[in-house]
């Protein structure tokens, strides 16, 4: 297993210069030689992680400039060189220099269509406040003071046929909803085939574990019903303050601590925290400043696998872009540095016909207890011109959630033998054989959601 906490250590200057200049083959040769030498253990582990990064990063940056422009013109035929330079200079184009060529991230066009208003307009797919279910739920929560909704989720995982090997022993971790989440109770209805282990209800990242020698490529599935019980509040209101989720675990020391590598309290993040806090002393107003910054200035974008990012919170704050998870990490880091307990939560946005992986955060104040924050949904509302929805996601959640994980970088039960595809979070499950982990592209995961009441 890689020691990802070693990412806190710097690379030797000569190796770092080769990595930065895109001379990756030379950098790998240097790291191989250095690893053989008598060097400190953390430095050895840092070099091992960096070498792993370089091997994997090539696949995430497959597009030359010419290929990227061609892909863009499939959506915007009159896309020009000036347009390209403008997107590059504004920070929309994620790229790496690899062996003398500038290579671009594989999901660049998808990110532009999802989050860049001008580009989406030119492509004939203007951004708008999608998902009317959210506005309906928001209105009902405000009117009734809360909302209770019962849903049913079936998650199915199956190995791709071209990756399946007959008579191979497969070890599968399938995510299932967690009753340890403060807003969710759960009943596991059916798991197929019979699992070897069902993680305890308090597991930080809950899964059903299977160990099967498979003669045929059958699917693994779990069906659960669960109730989302949400309470509406205006966190900045001077009156009506009360503990909204009394069953939530009280804050602990870890809710204020850094957590390497993605929640490192770097000098840059500390300076950003001080700048945003200013002279504000009330915790909930401090948290609102962090939320406004992220939803207003951190562009939503697809990013490479978190395994290949060195510090997720700082990545979002420096590059001013990131997906739902990186935005949640940045919010958590800023809160913790400001003395506000904050936690991770993740699973699915789980609406009928519209279910997908999603991450968000919770923060704590004496006045309200634990409150949820969804920076990426808030940012999407801002981009779509829905100011009311943007304000809603500071302190509130919609009921279309399935919570799998309520801690970041938590271990499975039982532990994996090989490196996880995502060692930090889990919404898509993990599979390994006796001799290797399966890549995420080698299996498919589907989520089916029904609203029961």
What does pTM read for this prediction? 0.96
What is the pLDDT, as a whole number, of residue 298?
96
77 and 114 assigned to the same domain = yes
What is the pLDDT, as a whole number, of residue 129?
58
273 and 295 assigned to the same domain = yes
324 and 238 assigned to the same domain = yes
Token couple for 96: 């790496």
Residue 127 falls inside a structural domain: no
Quote the CA–CA distance of 168 and 309 in Å, as a whole number. 32
Q: pLDDT of 329-340, one tens digit each?
A: 999 999 999 999
Q: What is the enclosing helix (H) or strand (E) of 300?
A: strand 299-300
Residue 384's CATH number = 3.10.620
- Dmax of the chain from CA atoms? 67
Residue 336 falls inside a structural domain: yes
Residue 100 falls inside a structural domain: yes
Q: What are phi and psi of 222, to 5 degrees?
A: -145, 130
Where the chain has pLDDT below 50, the residues are: none
151 and 300 assigned to the same domain = no
Angle among Cα 416, 435, 30 to the nearest 5 degrees reads 90
Domains held by the chain: number: 4
165 and 96 assigned to the same domain = no
182 and 71 assigned to the same domain = no
258 and 371 assigned to the same domain = yes
What is the pLDDT, as a whole number, of residue 35?
96
Residue 134 falls inside a structural domain: no
Burial per residue of 292-302, b for 16 or more beta-carbon CB atoms within 10 angstroms, e otherwise = bbbbeebbbbb
| Count of beta carbons in the 10 Å neighbourhood of residue 110 | 13
Task: Mark which of 107, 122, 137 sits at the end of a domain.
Answer: 122
253 and 105 assigned to the same domain = no
112 lies in which domain range? 65-122
Angle among Cα 300, 327, 384 to the nearest 5 degrees reads 40
Distances (CA, A) of 386 to 133, 143, 381: 14, 18, 5
User: At which residue do the structure tokens 């779990």 appear?
Assistant: 222
Residue 428 falls inside a structural domain: yes
| Count of beta carbons in the 10 Å neighbourhood of residue 82 | 8
Token couple for 156: 């199915």
Q: How does the average pLDDT of the chain come out, rounded?
A: 95
Quote the CA–CA distance of 205 and 424 in Å, as a whole number. 10
Distances (CA, A) of 35 to 24, 53, 82, 161, 418: 16, 16, 45, 38, 21
Residue 138 falls inside a structural domain: no
Contact 254, 408 (CB under 8 A): no
Angle among Cα 327, 370, 223 to the nearest 5 degrees reads 75
168 and 234 assigned to the same domain = no
Q: Is 165 left (phi over 0), alpha (psi -120 to 50) or beta?
A: beta
What is the pLDDT, as a whole number, of residue 128?
67
Residue 130 falls inside a structural domain: no
Contact 309, 287 (CB under 8 A): no
Q: pLDDT of 25-84, one tens digit each?
A: 999 999 999 999 999 999 999 999 999 999 999 999 999 999 999 999 999 999 999 999
What is the pLDDT, as a whole number, of residue 239?
83
Task: Mark which of 370, 386, 405 sits at the end of a domain.
Answer: 405
243 and 335 assigned to the same domain = yes
- What percent of the chain stands above pLDDT 70? 99
Peptide bond into 193 cis (omega under 30): yes
| Concatenated DSSP letters of 253-287 | GGGTS-BTTTB---HHHHHHHHHHHTT---HHHHH
189 and 238 assigned to the same domain = no
156 and 247 assigned to the same domain = no
| Concatenated DSSP letters of 182-251 | TTEEEEEEEEES--SEE--TT-SB-EEEEEEEESS---EEEEEEEEEEEE---TT-SS----S-TTSPPP
Task: Mark which of 39, 60, 81 sits at the end of a domain.
Answer: 60
Q: Which residues contact 77 (CB under 8 A, 6 or more apart)?
A: none
Residue 86 falls inside a structural domain: yes
């Amino acid at each position: 297993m890689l020691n990802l906490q070693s990412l806190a250590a710097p690379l030797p200057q000569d190796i770092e210069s080769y990595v930065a200049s895109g001379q990756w083959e030379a950098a790998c040769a240097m790291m191989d030689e250095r690893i053989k030498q008598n060097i400190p253990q953390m430095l050895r582990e840092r070099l091992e992680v960096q070498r792993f990064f370089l091997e994997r990063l090539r696949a995430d940056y497959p597009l030359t400039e010419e290929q990227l422009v061609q892909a863009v013109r499939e959506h915007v035929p009159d896309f020009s060189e000036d347009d390209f330079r403008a997107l590059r200079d504004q920070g929309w184009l994620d790229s790496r220099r690899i062996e003398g060529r500038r290579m671009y991230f594989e999901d660049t066009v998808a990110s532009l269509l999802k989050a860049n208003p001008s580009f989406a307009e030119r492509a004939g797919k203007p951004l708008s406040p999608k998902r009317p279910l959210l506005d309906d739920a928001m209105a009902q929560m405000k009117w009734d003071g809360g909302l209770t909704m019962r849903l049913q989720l079936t998650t199915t995982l199956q190995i791709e046929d071209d990756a399946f090997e007959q008579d191979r022993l497969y070890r599968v971790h399938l995510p299932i909803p967690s009753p340890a989440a403060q807003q969710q109770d759960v009943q596991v209805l059916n798991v197929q085939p019979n699992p070897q282990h069902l993680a305890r209800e308090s597991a930080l990242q809950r899964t059903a574990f299977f160990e099967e020698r498979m003669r045929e490529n059958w699917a693994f599935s779990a069906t659960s019903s669960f109730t989302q019980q949400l309470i509406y509040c205006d966190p900045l209101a001077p009156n009506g303050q009360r503990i909204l989720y009394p069953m939530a675990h009280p804050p602990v020391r870890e809710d204020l601590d850094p957590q390497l590598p993605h929640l490192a309290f770097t000098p840059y993040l500390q300076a950003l925290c001080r700048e945003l806090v200013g002279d504000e002393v009330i915790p909930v107003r401090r948290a609102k400043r962090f939320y406004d910054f992220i939803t207003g200035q951190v562009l939503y974008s697809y990013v490479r696998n978190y395994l290949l990012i060195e510090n997720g919170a700082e990545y979002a704050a420096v590059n001013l872009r990131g997906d739902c998870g990186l935005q949640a990490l940045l919010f958590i880091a800023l809160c913790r540095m400001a003395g506000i307990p904050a936690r991770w939560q993740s699973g699915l946005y789980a609406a009928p016909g519209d279910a997908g992986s999603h991450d968000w955060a919770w923060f704590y104040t004496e006045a309200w207890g634990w409150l949820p924050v969804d920076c990426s949904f808030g940012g999407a509302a801002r981009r779509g011109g829905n100011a009311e929805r943007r304000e809603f996601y500071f302190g509130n959640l919609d009921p279309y959630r399935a919570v799998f994980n309520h801690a970041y970088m938590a271990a499975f039960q039982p532990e994996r033998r090989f490196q996880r595809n995502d060692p930090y979070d889990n919404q898509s499950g993990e599979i390994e054989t006796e001799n290797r982990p399966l890549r995420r592209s080698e299996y498919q995961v589907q989520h089916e959601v029904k609203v029961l009441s």
